[in-house]
A and B are shown apart, each in its own frame.
Chain A
Amino acid sequence: MNDTMHINDTIVVEIDIDAPPERVFQAWIDPRQRLAWWGDDATYRGTKMESDLRVGGKWRTEGKSTQGKPFTVSGQYTRVEPPTALGFTWNHDWGQSGLPETHVLIELTANLLRHPRDAHPLRIHEHVRARRPQPGMAAGARLVALLPRAP
């Protein structure tokens, strides 16, 4: 009961990445790089990406599942702040139709707790408050990449 009644409107996924923020940001916004890592041979592959990278600009990705089933994902950019923040809306055509549009926010943050020589960096477990949903957006995802601290 406790779990089901806890209405989370935001998924928070964090990962440690050992690369400068500029490189990670480029991997998101450059269609060629994005298609190289978007999915993999075991699940699905992106095949085409169009991107008008500015606030209000539209993006669209096409791809195929390993079973050959095509899919598209599209949306509009809401924040473009290289190399620390990228926000966009998200609509996909698989699963149930009529699902609400979601909002994805990618934040690239220096991992301040990380020891410079530590091969297995610590992870910051910061408390993240669920943001209030915008009208028509029942849920969103907040993706946090924790990067090495800038020198």
Chain B
Amino acid sequence: MRKPMVSDKADQRDVFQALADPTRRAILGLLRQGSQPVGSIARDFPISRPAVSRHLRILREAELVTEIKVGRNRLYELNAAPLKNVDDWLAHYRYMWQHQLRNLKRFVEQKGRTH
């Protein structure tokens, strides 16, 4: 189990790269409804099954999905833990931009009054 906080540069990049692709994001959205085998995931997308498998491999490497064996079937299950990295990162940006826009507002409004 990976630590939820950002700890490893390579891992972090994997998560961002994995999420950068709209199809992979859609796959994660689908798996949110429950674990599924690759065949049933592939039916929901206009791309080939090997293409879906490639996306699943990237998601697995980023630990966003895990493969579980149920009898003869292999199911793909969502693992949301690495998304905490993304949340932390976005929170940092949000805070920074809020802060900067307040500075900008103060600056231009003051400037207006002195004219």
Contacts and interface: CB of A to CB of B under 8 A. Distances in A.
Interface residues of A, number: 42
Contacts, number: 106
B106 interface: yes
Interface in B62-108: 78, 80, 83-84, 86-87, 89-90, 92-94, 97-108
Q: Is the interface of A mostly helix, strand, loop or mixed?
A: loop
B109 interface: yes
Interface in A65-101: 95-100
B12 A99 contact: yes
Interface string A27-69: 1100001001111100100000000000000000000000000
B20 A100 contact: yes
Interface in A1-40: 1, 3-5, 7-9, 11, 13, 15-19, 23-24, 27-28, 33, 36-40
A143 B20 contact: no
Contact of A139 (B93, B109, B111): B93
B96 to A, nearest CB: 9
A141 interface: yes
Given A13-B97, A99-B12, A23 B112 contact: yes
Contacts of B100: 37-39
A25 to B, nearest CB: 10
B3 interface: no
Interface of B: 6, 9-10, 12-13, 16-17, 19-20, 22, 25, 28-29, 32, 78, 80, 83-84, 86-87, 89-90, 92-94, 97-109, 111-112
Interface of A: 1, 3-5, 7-9, 11, 13, 15-19, 23-24, 27-28, 33, 36-40, 43, 95-100, 102, 132-133, 135-139, 141, 143, 145
11 contacts: A7-B25, A11-B97, A13-B94, A13-B97, A19-B108, A33-B107, A98-B10, A98-B12, A100-B17, A133-B20, A139-B86
